[in-house]
Amino acid sequence: MKNFQIIGVDVSKSTLDVYLHTAKIHFQVDNSNQGMVELLGRALSSLNCKPADLMICFENTGKYSKLLSVMLDSQNIKFLMLSALEIKKSLGLTRGKNDKIDAMRIANYAIEKREKLKPTILPGVNVDRIKALLSLREKLVRHRTAYKNGLSDLKDCYVEGENALIVEVQLNLISELDKQIQKVEDEIRMIIHSDDSLEVNYNLAKSVIGVGPILAAYLIAFTNNFINFDNPRSFACFAGIAPFSESSGKQKGNARVHPYANKQLKSLLNMGAMSAIRIPGELKNYYLSREKAGKNNMSTMNIIRNKIVFRVFAVIKRKVPYINHSKFAA
């Protein structure tokens, strides 16, 4: 990354706390269009530079950072939208919250990691739509699961004639939720099929054993169509399936996955792995060989989740669908 003028911004609902690293200047503006115009004006004046020289770094706080990211993108100004976990890890143990200090720490983090960090590329409109629809689908599925569980509990102690209305209403709700979930999934497929670049990667991802339509859509959405992740290892970390070890001196800790990862992706990858080991092929054979050897089942399933991710990234890179060679074995 070239020698940009680094600016750290702590984003809140109403305000943006800004720290100009080179000039050691802190100021606060409103989290609004007018406030962002003021931010850029003061930054360019204080740093005596051009917009192309700026690199604005801030935490991804969802809807509160959305306006800032969209405005910077529209002005072709480079920015780094960092995950909350990334910032939390960099700050270490802190007491209380101080927006001014947080803005400075974000800037310092960007300076420290400048060789590894890449400017954020915002998802296209279609990827944003898919992500919003997947979020809606999650909510609908949760509601459906809750009603199904409630119905199961009722049936366990059901006496004919009792609770008939409760059962009927819940069955109707489950049926309606099925229809709404299907509508959402149809819309996701329609968006993907209307965009050539999304459709190509979607079909490539689905060619990997263990990757179905929903997981493929999640992979498209959370990688920004495989733009925001350079390699499968970094995505595996994001999805919470890349084991890391905690070691200190001579003390070696057991490898485990990070608790702050994307839980929905991890769950879907787990379901994909469960599906993959039921299908004749290398992954099923691998699972059975480790089971026979008495290996830890959770560890085996996590390895299979990683294999799926690595295969998806490989087919995307090569632009060639995955071939299950076991189908052609004698």
- Do 44 and 14 lie in one domain? The reply is yes
The domain boundary, picked from 194, 229, 249, lies at: 194
- Do 105 and 189 lie in one domain? The reply is no
Question: Considering the domain boundaries, does residue 201 fall inside one?
Answer: no
- Do 231 and 323 lie in one domain? The reply is yes
Structural tokens at position 36? 């962002």
- Do 67 and 165 lie in one domain? The reply is no
Q: What is the CATH number of the domain that holds 60?
A: 3.30.420.10
Bigger pLDDT: 265 or 257? 265
What confidence tier does 294 reach under pLDDT thresholds 50, 70, 90? very high
CA end-to-end span of the chain:
52
- Do 104 and 138 lie in one domain? The reply is no
β-pairing verdict for 54-59 and 255-256: unpaired
Task: Tell me the CB-side half-sphere exposure of residue 203, using CA atoms within 13 A.
Answer: 10
Question: Considering the domain boundaries, does residue 210 fall inside one?
Answer: no
pLDDT tens digits, one per residue of 206-226: 999 999 999 999 999 999 999
- Do 134 and 185 lie in one domain? The reply is yes
Question: Considering the domain boundaries, does residue 203 fall inside one?
Answer: no
The domain boundary, picked from 112, 144, 164, lies at: 112
What DSSP assignment string belongs to 240-264? T-S-EE--BTTBPPPEE--TTS-HH
Question: Considering the domain boundaries, does residue 118 fall inside one?
Answer: no
- Do 220 and 323 lie in one domain? The reply is yes
What confidence tier does 261 reach under pLDDT thresholds 50, 70, 90? low
Per DSSP, what are the bridge partners of residue 19?
Answer: 8, 26
What confidence tier does 312 reach under pLDDT thresholds 50, 70, 90? very high
- Do 107 and 188 lie in one domain? The reply is no
What confidence tier does 101 reach under pLDDT thresholds 50, 70, 90? confident
27: left (phi over 0), alpha (psi -120 to 50) or beta: beta
Question: Considering the domain boundaries, does residue 202 fall inside one?
Answer: no
The domain boundary, picked from 194, 227, 246, lies at: 194
What confidence tier does 97 reach under pLDDT thresholds 50, 70, 90? low
Instruction: Tell me which residue range forms the domain holding 27.
Output: 5-112
User: What's the CA gap between 58 and 221, in Å, rounded?
Assistant: 21
Question: Considering the domain boundaries, does residue 121 fall inside one?
Answer: no
Burial of 314 from C-beta contacts in 10 A (0-12 / 13-18 / 19+): middle
User: What's the CA gap between 207 and 321, in Å, rounded?
Assistant: 6
Residues 193 and 220 sit within 8 Å (Cβ to Cβ): no
- Do 141 and 108 lie in one domain? The reply is no
pTM of the model: 0.77
Q: What is the mean pLDDT of residues 153-169?
A: 74
Q: What is the mean pLDDT of residues 82-97?
A: 62
- Do 319 and 247 lie in one domain? The reply is yes
Q: What is the number of structural domains in the chain? A: 3
Q: Which of 240, 30, 221, 12 is nearest to 134 (CA)?
A: 221
Share of the chain above pLDDT 90, in %: 65
- Do 131 and 83 lie in one domain? The reply is no
- Do 239 and 190 lie in one domain? The reply is no
**170-189: b (≥16 Cβ within 10 Å) or e:** beebbeebeeebeebbeebe
Question: Considering the domain boundaries, does residue 314 fall inside one?
Answer: yes
Instruction: Output the pLDDT for position 167.
Output: 85
Bigger pLDDT: 255 or 42? 42
Q: Which of 111, 103, 105 is nearest to 90 (CA)?
A: 105
Instruction: Output the pLDDT for position 156.
Output: 66
Largest Cα–Cα distance in the chain?
80
User: What's the CA gap between 160 and 177, in Å, rounded?
Assistant: 26
Question: Considering the domain boundaries, does residue 120 fall inside one?
Answer: no
